[in-house]
Structure 1
Amino acid sequence: MQNYLPPLCRRSFLAPSLNYNLGMKGRARGSPAVLGIHRRTGMTKRLIGRCFGSMSSGLNGQATLRLQGKTRRIEIIDETPRTKTAKDEEKKNEDQYKESLEVGRVPDIEEAPEDSRSPLDRWRTRGGHTKLSVSDLLFNMWCEQQYHYTLLRGFKRRTAEMQAGTKIHREMEEQVHTIVPVTVKTTHDKWGLRIWNMIQGLESLRATGLTRELEVWGWIDGVFVNGVIDEVNFKKFERERNDKENGAVGIVGDKEEAKEVSLPENVTEAMITGAAPTEEKVGELPETPKKKRGRPRKNPEPTPASPKTPNQQTSIMDFITPSPKKTRSKGQPAFVLDLKTRLSARIPEPGSSQAISVHIQLMLYRQLLNDMIKATPKSMVKKLCKYHGLPADEPFSDDLIAGLAGNGNETEPGSDELLFLLEHNSIEKLYTLFQKKLKQTISTVSPDLTVVYRWQKNGQFMDSADYMADDDMLKRHVDNVVSWWKGQRGTVGVPIEEAWKCKNCEFSENCQWIQKAVQERMDQMREKRRAAM
């Protein structure tokens, strides 16, 4: 790497305390190894001292926490200009919406100005770069019109249920990873941290057979898509099915999901096929056992609540440069799992929109991860950097290098990790390493897919459901939803038979789609009466 540190700054590295804290004990202060590291990092004495100033210090005072059997995972605090602008705009839209409600005026979403751009160009293109999330490919499973209104409004409301679900996901992640917050101010550094997290996730999978919150990305129908897999495991999820556990959960369809709120005034029960059932008490797990649907598993083995982990935390260097005995020439098949939290003690029934949605979600994760395994490192990183306008071979910032180096082995903070990072100090080198280790860790992703349901109240395990990957089903869904994003078709709301979904919709009062659907149904009923007379 190029030498871009002024000579005056290089001499500051020779301070004895810094030599010790950087794991340089036993090396000459002016040795080529020491000077070489300092030249390549370009870190000043003040910066190094902030990151490695004492044996107990580190990144934000937390990076050197040593928890048994856990790998580090960076929580990226995104302060890039583009992200800050987007957040400010969303906050402004939310404040304006709340002000309208406070004065008693319900904003009419349909009053939004006409825009000839496609939804993809209008809401998912920033700085000339277009991208979607896995969630963006699932929204139409419930109601496409509702999602369209949310985009028009300019912000998504975070409910108490969503916050409770996020908390449980966080607790599950902390069973596997030590989470360390890091602030980034450039898109280049942000991508570096994302790749670093993926490497740490593979380390956890290799060492313990389990990792959580593993990010994946790729291209689907020519559009960049990213997602975060809740869990990747080397062993298929199985659970113990005893009477006590089976009796704790009921099965609920889509209609029961929305029955707590009355129908809009312009929709009557007579217009809907199959009225919603009477309300069931929510908040306590029912004591009366309910019959389970689906085929029971044969002789299942119980799955422990948390993964079995080694007594000592493994160093990233053990993963990057393993001993000959630990080296794998080929990876193992892996299983992907999704975690869903439930407000009530019931799970979606097979065939409901929520069950189909999670099935498609798991298939998307599987496809993205399999595509990453099959791709060649050079082609993937070249396409990634070109698509997002990233410099493939530009070194990361000094702050990022120093921070990640402080995220290493506690006995000698920053020594091996710093050397390792300097050898892979660019998106191209770091991603090439990730993909090489990905192929060595995972051979393929199994078509056996699993979703686990937990209760939002306390994270208690409720039930699980299994699916099989269906490439034809996935292609039909993706083609349909991407055609909407690209503006090749209009927005489609729910049919009148599913108007009960409008019960929980905050846009139901002004929804033109359901008003049109209700009017069409009423006209049909009048025609039938005329024909009967």
Structure 2
Amino acid sequence: MSCSQEHTAARDPAAAEEISDSEFLDIELDTHYPETPESCDRLSSALGNDCGTESETVGGPLAPKTDSAEEAGTSPELASAGEGSAVLLKRKRVLAERSPLERFRLRYLCVTDVCGQAWCELQVVYGFELPHVPKREEESPEVKAGASIHLARELEVHDVVSVSAQSKEDRWALKILNMLVMLPILQAGGRVRELPVFGMLEGVFLVGVIDELHYSHKGELVLSELKTRGLRSLPGRAQERSHHFQVRLYKLLFDSMVRGLLERDAFVQSLGLRPEQPLGSGVMEHAQKLGLHVHTFGGVLELALMTLSYSELPAIDVLKIEYCHQGSSDAIGTREVSFDEAGVRVELRNCLSFWIGQREPRGVDIEEAWKCRSCSFAEHCEWRRERAENATASNQTKRFK
């Protein structure tokens, strides 16, 4: 049984626009922008999949994405500007003394924030800097179809119930309670879906949701990630690269959790939570129905850490990505993903070096400029503008020779 909050939208395929890490965790976010679904003809998303992003500001209650473009890192005039906005954004970014984590007031990153960089790093950044730029894909039938497929899969293994949450601590307690329900099922050899994972990787706290964990006939623990696509074909190399990185990061997080490496202080400080906060009546009642007698958020967290430390769950053995058609739900194909921890950590450190302020964001390679055709931020993009100017200058030089 999985729980959600009364104040958030239930996982109803008629209401949900897409399935994202944020929705699976049912957290109200200070900074939240959706990503596009799996679709070959709409490749503008950071991942090209149906996972979104999740972030939280340093202070204050959790709330939907800010209505003020200035609070998000730019002014209302800049957010609505077309010509010249890329230059101004770049100048503002260069002059900023704070790292992107500090500038966007992020306590942690969602796995999909990081994996989005493998698609286009600037697109991820513009999602924070230009929150008012419309996303053409948000209301698309493809996104809604992907949401329906995910929900149907989830309901195959457990029910979704509503629980009233009164605080940020309540909401995180519900995520942890969901995990505590799933761990015994997994340990008994069962199948679980939408398992929250979190932990400190390379100095930054990451949060994600694993689509599915189950055991193979050989007894291997298999992570299976579901991706829905608009066309009946497997993804190209660019999308595949992001997908592979995503499941590899999930393995890193899950493996560290079952090895007892998730630290209480890192969890509390990274998420800005109060261990002493009493649980709301709805959450406490839900915990009691599960046979758990806890009264504070800290009590729930300590129980989870102890359960993880003493669990006999193995590390994930196999990583798979399942692709299915959005319109019919028919299977398209399955890809198995290799895992090299050293290589994954090198890639992760490179991605995080932007977030901690060690380098500027990068646009796509010139060979992948086709990604820009359907990007919501194309008219604001400094990468496109610089290359257009360079091309114009080059043509003029050739003309006068």
- Give TM-score, length-normalised by structure 1: 0.56
Q: Is residue 92 of structure 2 the alignment partner of residue 114 of structure 1?
A: yes
Does residue 150 (structure 1) correspond to residue 127 (structure 2)? The answer is: yes
What residue identity is the alignment partner of 1:149? Y
> Equivalents in 1 of 2:382, 2:263: separation in Å?
44
Among 197, 204, 214, the residue aligned to 2:178: 197
Q: Report how far residue 77 of structure 1 moved.
A: 6.5
User: For 2:254, what is the secondary structure of its paired residue?
Assistant: helix
Q: C-alpha displacement at 1:474, in angstroms?
A: 1.0
- SS of the residue corresponding to residue 346 of structure 1 reads coil
Counterpart in the other structure of 1:372:
257
> Is 1:83 aligned to residue 62 of structure 2?
yes
Cα contact 1:209–1:235 (8 A) shared by 2 = no
Identify which of 311, 315, 324 aligns with 1:440: 311
Residue 398 of structure 1 corresponds to which residue in structure 2?
Answer: 281
Counterpart of 1:477 in structure 2 is 347
Q: Whole-Å Cα distance in 2 between the matches of residues 517 and 342 of structure 1?
A: 31
- The CA deviation at 1:525 is 7.1
Partner residue, 2:113: 136
- Partner in structure 1 of residue 226 of structure 2: 339
**Structure 1 residue 166, shift from structure 2 partner:** 2.2
**Aligned-residue offset at 1:394:** 4.7
| Matched positions, count | 337
* CA distance 1:163–1:123, shift in 2 (3 Å): farther
Distance 1:75 1:506, change over 3 A: closer
Select which of 126, 144, 148 maps to 1:167. Answer: 148
CA change 1:236–1:469 in 2 (3 A) is: farther
Cα distance change, pair 341–491 in 1 and its aligned pair in 2 (3 A)? same
Partners of 1:505 and 1:236 in 2: how far apart?
Answer: 43
1:386-425 alignment runs, 5 A limit: 386-405=269-288, 408=289, 417=290, 420-422=291-293, 424-425=294-295
Q: 1:213 aligns with which of 173, 181, 194?
A: 194
Provide structure 2 residue ranges, at least 5 long, that are not aligned to the other structure.
7-23, 31-59
Pair 394,505 (structure 1): closer, same or farther in 2 beyond 3 Å: closer
C-alpha distance 353-192 of structure 1, shift in aligned 2 (>3 A)? same
Give the AA of the match of 2:292: L
Shift of the 523–79 alpha-carbon distance from structure 1 to 2, 3 Å rule, reads closer
Q: Distance in 2 between matches of 1:471 and 1:211?
A: 24
| Residue 178 in structure 1 maps to residue 159 in structure 2 | yes
CA deviation vs aligned residue, 1:70-120 (integer Å, no higher than 9, x gap) = xxxx97474996222645558x99xx99xx98xxx7586434582513221
CA distance in 1, matches of 2:99, 2:27: 30
SS in 2 for 1:201: helix
Distance (Å, rounded) in 2 between the aligned partners of 1:343 and 1:454: 9
The 1:347–1:124 alpha-carbon spacing in structure 2 relative to 1, beyond 3 Å, is farther
Cα deviation code 1:470-505 (max 9, x no counterpart): 123212211111111112111211232222111111
Q: Match of 1:223, as an amino acid?
A: V
Q: Could you tell me whether the CA contact under 8 Å between 2:62 and 2:168 is conserved in 1?
A: no
Give the number of the structure whose alpha-carbon radius of gyration is greater.
1
Corresponding position of 1:426 = 296
Are 1:484 and 1:491, in contact at CA under 8 Å, matched by a contact in 2?
Answer: yes
The 1-side partners of 2:316 and 2:327 are apart by 32
- Separation of aligned partners in 2, 1:133 and 1:151: 13
Amino acid at match of 1:489: R
Superposition deviation, residue 221 in structure 1 = 1.7
CA distance in 1, matches of 2:350, 2:25: 34
Residue 353 of structure 1: SS of its match in structure 2? helix
Q: C-alpha distance in 2, partners of 1:504/1:75?
A: 29
In the alignment, what sits opposite 2:52? none
Quick one: percent identity of the two aligned structures?
28
Distance 2:124 2:299 in 1: 39
Q: Is the 8 A contact 2:119 2:239 kept in 1?
A: yes
Contact kept in structure 1, 2:29 and 2:64, CA below 8 Å: no
Q: After superposition, what is the alpha-carbon deviation per residue over 1:141-188, rounded to whole angstroms, capped at 9, x for unaligned?
A: 121222222221125732413333222211111111100122322122
Distance in 1, matches of 2:345 and 2:25, equals 33
Output the CA distance in 1 between the equivalents of 2:68 and 2:153. Answer: 32
Over 3 Å counting, the alpha-carbon distance change for 1:109 and 1:135 in structure 2 is farther
Q: Name the SS of the counterpart of 2:92 in structure 1.
A: coil
How far apart in 2 are the matches of 1:77 and 1:223? 19
For each residue in 1:494-518, what CA deviation from the matched residue of structure 2 results, as whole angstroms up to 9, or x when unmatched?
2322221111112223422123224
* Distance (whole Å) between structure 2 residues aligned to residue 226 and residue 186 of structure 1: 19
Matched with 1:501 is 371
**d(CA) in 2 for partners of 1:512, 1:433:** 48
CA distance in 2, matches of 1:505, 1:86: 20
Residues 227-279 of structure 1: per-residue CA shift (max 9 Å, x gap):
00001112279xxxxxxxxxxxxxxxxxxxxxxxxxxxxxxxxxxxxxxxxxx
The two structures, once aligned, show a CA RMSD in angstroms of 3.4
Q: Deviations over 1:194-230 (max 9, x none)?
A: 1101012223324562100000000112111100000
Change in CA separation of 1:459 and 1:519 when aligned onto 2, cut-off 3 Å: same
- Which amino acid in structure 2 is aligned with residue 145 of structure 1? L
Distance 2:278 2:128 in 1: 37
Structure 2 vs 1, CA of residues 475 and 190 (structure 1 numbering), >3 Å: closer, same or farther? same
Shift of residue 435 of structure 1? Answer: 3.9
Relative to the length of structure 2, the TM-score reads 0.73
Alpha carbons of structure 1 residues 460 and 108: separation in structure 2 relative to 1, 3 Å? farther
Where structure 1 has 5 or more consecutive residues not aligned to the other structure, the ranges are 1-58, 61-73, 238-331, 409-416
Specify the code of the residue in structure 2 equivalent to 1:344: L
